[in-house]
Structure 1
Amino acid sequence: MAVYPIIMTQSSFTHRDNLKYPYEERGLQFGDGIYEVIRIYNGEYYLLKEHVDRLFRSAAAVKINLAVTKEEMTQLLLQLLERNKMNKDGKVYLQVTRGSAPRDHVFPEGIPANVYAYVQDLPRNTEKMDAGVATITQRDVRWENCYIKSLNLLPNVLAKQEAKENGCYEAILHRNGLVTECSSSNVYLVKDGKIYTHPATNNILHGCVRMRVEKFAKDLGIPFIEESFTVDDIATADEILLSSSTSEVMPIISVDDKQIADGKPGKITKQLQQAYVADANIIEPDKVSN
């Protein structure tokens, strides 16, 4: 098959060898890849093992062969912080694609996976965590393998953008009225002292922080019930909250312009936030002695 050398890029033309990125890249052309976002506090990873474990689960699910072991990946990620002299709050974005090869739906043979990771500063959003956030609801139109942290995020992106355009922090997704999760976080309903959230099926991402929220609840003696709740249940909830690596434990104070309870972060949400801070060894500014 002949390969022609001149490539159109933006509004000009160049030789394919001059491109700064591999245009025939499986992640770019098919979304054929997986990723992780790992939180950093004071230059230390939070839940690193859990994120690496999930990366390898996702890789196995989409049949991507990683050239390193979990232990080697962990060491590479630790070196990444060390080489960047990272000592702040931040995050690492880690992406793996099936590699670069001539475009074909069928997997290429003998092509190594493309792996990269980079570090960014990310201060804690304590203002929103203290006050709570507004959300909207949207129909969940994603595929049926949401437990894989894949690059196929266009429905999530569109839902998140819709939330932003409505002045909201997140979009709560639902299938036939049953709440699954948010566009980039897990979501929970509190009623009568119990926490309800969608079971860890293929229809949601099994969040690393979600697993910690379950542990915090059990340690606090709060029933954690993996049972779907409905959009209609939201109106009578005592509390609604979400969790993710970047949002931590975030209270939701309104959904679709309707206030949740008294419109303030609830007691159980605050308990979970305190447990998160302790578990992540976060030093809060007002608790630092002079």
Structure 2
Amino acid sequence: MSIKPYVLTETEYVNQEELTYPFEERGLQFGDGVYEVIRVYHGEYYLIEEHVERLFRSAAAIKLEVPYTKEDMYKRLEQLLQLNAFTGDGKVYLQITRGSAPRDHAFPKGVGANLYAYVSDVQRKLDLMKDGISTITEPDVRWDLCYIKSLNLLPNVMAKQTATEQNCFEAVLHKDGKVTECSSSNVYLVKDGAIYTHPATKNILHGCVRMRIEAFAKEAGIPFHEEAFHLDDMNEADELFLTSSTAEVMPIVNVDGKAVANGTPGNITRLMQQAYEKDAGIPENASIFADCTENKSVS
């Protein structure tokens, strides 16, 4: 993953080598901040409005003042791509913390926020999107305010590492058997032609791609139920898939060593992948289905 040289800060654009913060920085010491990851395709942002809106909601939830207005943020993020002459596929990581101050749990007074945003190359995971991925299940031990996209990600990191150690792509999280989401993505169950996913409560991150999946389903006439499902339901699922800004729409074909249905991506998952690619403006020659004629016109 190649990080591009110019970085947006709370005041200006700087070369990444010039970006330094004091060691008494609240993001480092308390996880006192919020972040976003915004997908870029062919030098164009995808779902930037949704991401910026969520950034401001998360910041407001922790009483953090964003250094820019929403309008300024849009302009500066566009300028960030232009300054780096970025025309490929990638992502922008944007983080805001409560600033740098002597360590104290209480909010510091008279201290401005620290902000940085940078661009990096991210290639699409085409092989995994075609063939599907394996997952494990793990207890959801995170705090109760997961709708805030905060920097406090240690439980997510531990769950993802457990999955990685078992050669799996993701960990599906659950609270006493009720599935919430994954360590870094939202998760969906397909049964009898309908899609099910956990309601957008405080217990999950309200994914930007998740919102588009609901719209895609509606456009395709597929019932979309914001209704939590359980681990046992996954054993009887017709299909499972997950979504995130970097994973896009990813079929799940194995959970805890057991195949999902026949162990191959299902038709509704394929429809959601096609809808995503169309919505994101993915050209035909870069499509998941470019070399997959059997799935090229799923209906």
2:46 is aligned to 46
Deviation, 1:32, is 0.2
2:213 is aligned to 213
Distance in 2 separating the partners of 1:150 and 1:137 = 23
1:232 is aligned to 232
2:111 is aligned to 111
Secondary structure of the 1:124 match is: coil
Distance in 2 separating the partners of 1:244 and 1:123 = 14
2:271 is aligned to 271
Contact kept, 8 Å, 2:21 with 2:100, in 1: the verdict is no
Secondary structure of the 2:86 match is: coil
Say which one has the larger Rg: 1
Deviation, 1:77, is 0.4
Deviation, 1:21, is 3.5
Distance in 2 separating the partners of 1:232 and 1:192 = 16
Scaled by the length of structure 2, the TM-score of the pair is: 0.89
2:96 is aligned to 96
Secondary structure of the 2:115 match is: strand
**1:1-150 matched pairs, under 5 angstroms:** 21-150=21-150
Deviation, 1:22, is 1.0
Question: What residue identity is the alignment partner of 2:117?
Answer: A
Question: What residue identity is the alignment partner of 1:23?
Answer: F
Which ranges of structure 1 fall in alignment gaps of 5 or more residues? 1-18
Deviation, 1:68, is 1.2
Cα distance, 1:141–1:104 mapped onto 2, change above 3 Å: same
- 1:103-154 Cα distance to aligned partner (Å, 9 max, x none): 0000001100000000000011111000000000000000000000000000
Secondary structure of the 2:138 match is: strand
Aligned residues with identical type, % of pairs: 66
Secondary structure of the 1:54 match is: helix
Question: What residue identity is the alignment partner of 1:275?
Answer: A
Deviation, 1:67, is 2.4
Secondary structure of the 1:264 match is: coil
Secondary structure of the 2:127 match is: helix
- 1:200-248 Cα distance to aligned partner (Å, 9 max, x none): 0000000000000000000000000000000011000000000000000
Secondary structure of the 1:93 match is: strand
Scaled by the length of structure 1, the TM-score of the pair is: 0.92
- RMSD of equivalent CA atoms: 1.2
Deviation, 1:20, is 5.0
Contact kept, 8 Å, 2:237 with 2:260, in 1: the verdict is yes
Which ranges of structure 2 fall in alignment gaps of 5 or more residues? 1-18, 291-299
Moved over 3 A (4+): none
Distance in 2 separating the partners of 1:21 and 1:247 = 31
2:295 is aligned to none
